[in-house]
Amino acid sequence: MEIRELKVDGAYEITPKQFTDPRGTFFEAYKASAFEEVVGHRLELAQTNSSVSSAGVLRGIHFAQLPPSQAKYVWCPRGALLDVVVDIRVGSPTYGQWDSVLLDDVDRRAIYVGEGLGHAFCSLEVGSTAVYMCSTQYAPGREHGIHPLDPEIGIEWPTTDRAGNPMELLLSDKDSAAPTLEEVAEQGLLPTAQEAADFYASLR
């Protein structure tokens, strides 16, 4: 597999090598040795989640307080998702910036979102399925959100589905009511770049 670091430090795009024959296709969705060689530490799996979404469903921007926060290794076994990582680490050179990876059932890429980063995605097809391998279990008191349409972040969400048809975004009530990045920062909920770097070092 090929692993490429994204614009946001601590986030990676993973592209598996696929083997196809008359029976179908085989690929390694996750390989610990390849992951550890590039990222510098193993992914400690504590919980695996899955969601199925209609076209236009937008989930996020979600993050968990650091430490321990929650790293996510996300892939899409069915359908297509535009998956986005946001740098929410105060003092980071790319603070407030974002990058994205198209996750689908063709190239079968995955994205790794390290601890202390924000995560969101938009479904591009009815029935799009996301599988999240998480480093920690869900901790309600430490889970927070940032509005995915925050103009300060300026994520370019798709306006058409996978087939090219016009698509309206659909948010949950909770995500629709989420504060902006600036408001979350004022609440003191965001990690600093140094706190994130120290935490990454502790994992090695």
DSSP assigned state of 142: G
pLDDT at 46: 97
- Dihedral, CA atoms, 48, 52, 56, 57, nearest 10 degrees? -60
Catalytic status, residue 132: yes
Catalytic status, residue 138: no
- Catalytic site residue from 12, 62, 112, 119: 62
Residue 39 corresponds to which amino acid? V
Tell me the domains of the chain and their CATH numbers: 2-203 (2.60.120.10)
| Averaged pLDDT, 154-182 | 97
pLDDT(109) > 90:
yes
pLDDT at 73: 98
Under the banding of pLDDT at 50, 70 and 90, the label for residue 204 is confident
> Is the peptide bond prior to 166 cis by the omega test (within 30 degrees of 0)?
no
pLDDT at 172: 98
User: 164 exposed, middle or buried (CB, 10 Å; 0-12, 13-18, 19+)?
Assistant: exposed
Residue 161 corresponds to which amino acid? D
Q: DSSP for 84-97?
A: EEEE--BT-TTTT-
- Catalytic site residue from 30, 41, 95, 132: 132
